[in-house]
Amino acid sequence: MPNKARNGDLQAIDACIGCLQACIGHYHKGLPIGCVQNPTTGKEAWILPELKKTRNKQNVLVIGAGPGGLQAAITADYLGHSVTLIDQSKSIGGLLRTMRKAPMRHELAESMLDNYSRKLMRSNINVQLGKTATAQEISESNPDAIICATGSRPYTPAIEGIDDPRIIMSDDLFSSTKNVGENILVFDFGGDWPGMEAAIYLAEKGHGVTLISSRLHIGETVHQYLRNEYLKKLYNLNVTLLPHYDIGAIKENQVIIRNLFTQQKQELTNWDSIVLSLGRIPNTELFEEMKGHAPIVKQIGDCLGPRTIEEATHEGMMSVISL
């Protein structure tokens, strides 16, 4: 960073996104310090020599412009490959686009989107947004490698009443114009940011919110420094916090929840809408369709298995280093 500043190359400096995940988060877990935004951090001794190797130029197609796909495309471009990046959305970011609407995640998302936007502008990547990748078109472009970074979608449990119109998936909440009523139940499975963000978003709008989580405690998988801020916000907004429960069924105006330890069931009746954040499943359909359309076809990030941005950016980089 000081060298970039000294050379006047300020646009090449990445802003910290403030996630605390791979830096202080790794430190607290006894792991080597890394960086979500810069996956080479902490691995320089073996990755930098790999990045300097002479390579044969290849035609690389990256499908999906979320963090994993963006990192794959930018790394491939840095290595001298001819790169095309396709996404069916009209803007880059994947789940970052959802995060930028969330009350306490928007700064992280905005910073990361800005960092990647500047990298794309400085690259030779052929970015094609608002385009759906088809097997025929891809086969005709004759790619040497296809990197599938098509992300994931919310998991929907097979429970009674799951088709109730009063249910909203957390992905849709921040852009929904639906009248959700006064009292909202938010169900969280992963103990991650989506459930807490949904609860804060609704409580800030004046709704009565109960956040129900199947984890040992609210925000269990979020780094403690961030979790402290989330919990402070949730308590200040008078959100009711109920860990150790999952959703069992929806019967007319009753929501049945189950204690994970005692298996005892309760019926909740004071609610108008339900927000579900129950995990994600990978979008593997295009990956399966792409097999055989290039000598190398890989899946990365949530398309491989829904996890965090850290895994997505790491796999994005590694997927093209190994070409």
Domain hosting 178: range is 156-278
Residue 291 sits in the same domain as residue 149: yes
Q: Is residue 270 domain-shared with residue 216, that is, in the same domain?
A: yes
User: Over the stretch 40-74, which tens digit does the pLDDT of each residue have?
Assistant: 999 999 999 999 999 999 999 999 999 999 999 99
pLDDT at position 162 = 96
CA atoms of 92 and 130, how far apart (whole Å): 10
For residue 139, pLDDT beyond 90? no
Find where tokens 């403030």 sit.
18
Higher per-residue confidence, 219 vs 136:
219
Residues 174, 208, single domain; the answer is yes
- Whether residues 107 and 191 fall in one domain: no
Task: Tell me, yes or no, whether 44 and 135 share the same domain.
Answer: yes
3-state SS class at 242: strand
Would you say how long the chain is, in residues?
Answer: 323
Helix (H) or strand (E) holding 147: strand 145-148
Q: Are residues 220 and 304 in the same domain?
A: no
10 Å Cβ neighbour count for 313?
29
Query: Does 78 share its domain with 104?
Result: yes
Query: Which DSSP category does 318 fall into?
Result: H
| Closest to 320 in 3D by CA, of 19, 74, 95 | 74
pLDDT(131) > 90: yes
194 with 238, same domain: the answer is yes
Rounded (to 5) percent helix, strand, coil in the chain: 35, 20, 45
Query: Are residue 222 and residue 317 in the same domain, yes or no?
Result: no
Question: Do 131 and 274 belong to one domain?
Answer: no
Q: Provide the pLDDT for residue 221.
A: 94
Distances (CA, A) of 31 to 34, 52, 232, 301, 307: 9, 26, 28, 21, 18
**Helices 106-121 and 67-78, interaxial angle, to 10°?**
30
pLDDT, residue 133, reads 87
Contact (Cβ atoms closer than 8 angstroms) between residue 67 and residue 313: yes
For the record, the structure tokens of 235 come out as 């308590």
Give this prediction's pTM. 0.94
